[in-house]
Structure 1
């Protein structure tokens, strides 16, 4: 009877360690996923900013239509 109780406690402790490890890894994976998503979004935004800056510095800022106005922010 003592052997069964000891084995049950050892198995319970082992399962508890496995569950703790799973939840630890799961929360770390979620945090890493959010970090990578934020990093990708920032890089994408910086790419757009750089492209707009390059276009503003190298493109001619002329309006296509007679009554339309040019974007002053892009032509500085």
Structure 2
């Protein structure tokens, strides 16, 4: 499953609103093409609980005390 480009852009570049930053002055007769601000999500993005736990269990580092404590807290 792939992310929508708007979600990807929000995660990768949270302050950026256009695909290319504008620099300099526009030539005469050229209209600006400002992109509207992307809608902010209603809730913060959280991983799917079961997918997150299954992925965490599959990591060899889950046996370390820090990740083990984290995995136990997520249960």
> TM-score band (shorter)?
under 0.3
Larger Rg, first or second structure (1 or 2):
1
Q: Could you say which structure has the higher helix fraction?
A: 1
What's the TM-score once normalised by structure 2's chain length?
A: 0.25
Q: TM-score, normalised by structure 1?
A: 0.25
